[in-house]
Amino acid sequence: MQLGFIGLGAMGLPMARHLVEAGHTVTVSSRSRGPIDAAVAFGARETDGPAGVVAASEVTILCVPNSPQVVEVLDAAMDALGPGKIVVDTSTIDPEVERAQHARVIATGAGYLEAPLSGGTAGAQAGTLTLMVGGAADTLDAARPALDPFAGLIVHVGGPGMGQVVKLCNNLIYAAQMLATAEATVMAERAGVDLAQLYEILTHATGDCVAVRTRLPAPGVIPESPASNNWAPGFMTDLMAKDLDLAITYAARTGSPLLTSGLVRQILGAASAAGYGREDFSALAKVVRGLAGK
């Protein structure tokens, strides 16, 4: 297929590589020169901005940081949209903003899906991301060849906006897991517990969760964890904070109580203020350690 990719960040660049490796012709655009050069080096084609990408592509995938960037990209691409074109937004953004993008893209005769991602940079590199898709089922059928190369699981969760709602639910749970994991780790450290033994027990007990398995925040316990790799981001603190802001705002609109999320958001804010915003969000453990006097 003729595919387009806009947004070659830590997630987007490996996703685009999987599309090239699957045999698709991939035309790319991004704000930074370095990722474009990297994409061209593995076989992608460069063009001039979002309109050029959409014009060259049957399916165009967006992977940008937040709602304003999605709107900005689509503003730039509107003249190139029409029948025979599909846009898939894999960003995590406000569900109501996403519903508005569905409406205006579909009004051109093009198809539109949202497909926010879970799996982080490791999942993007491995091609095992989970996609939560909102939009029309027949549009997903048509776009699936453009998604399969970087997906481990694709689930159609409903109409416009529903993919974003499910993604925000996922990240609410993940953020709460991480704070609890950090608290438990610091408490164990202060008590003199062997953290390798803590990890072994937790991964075979009722405390087991993804945050424990991948992000126990103590250097050397998990070789691949951010804590063992200078807090290199699989998912940045600032991005998790952004997602919690989206979830808290959406919950307020719908009258849904969020109790733990406000606390986690404060700790993430403290982590950003301390200079950890571009580190992995498990760096919130450094704030917890600071509160413990460590």
Which residues are annotated as catalytic? 167
- Ramachandran class of 192: left when φ > 0, alpha when ψ lies in -120 to 50, beta otherwise: left
Residue 250 CB contacts under 8 Å (≥ 6 apart), including other chains: 94, 95, 96, 165, 168, 256
DSSP 178-234: HHHHHHHHHHHHHHT--HHHHHHHHTTSTT--HHHHHH-SSTTTSTTSGGGGTT--S
Contact assessment for residue 63 and residue 91, using Cβ atoms and an 8 Å cutoff:
yes
Residues whose CB falls within 8 Å of the CB of residue 178, separated by 6 or more in sequence, listed in order: 211, 215, 264, 281, 282, 284
Phi-psi region of 15 (alpha: psi -120 to 50; beta: other; left: phi over 0): alpha
Closest CA to 53 of 91, 23, 79: 79
Phi, psi dihedral angles at 85 (to 5 degrees): -110, 145
Side-chain-side CA neighbours of 7 within 13 Å: the count stands at 20
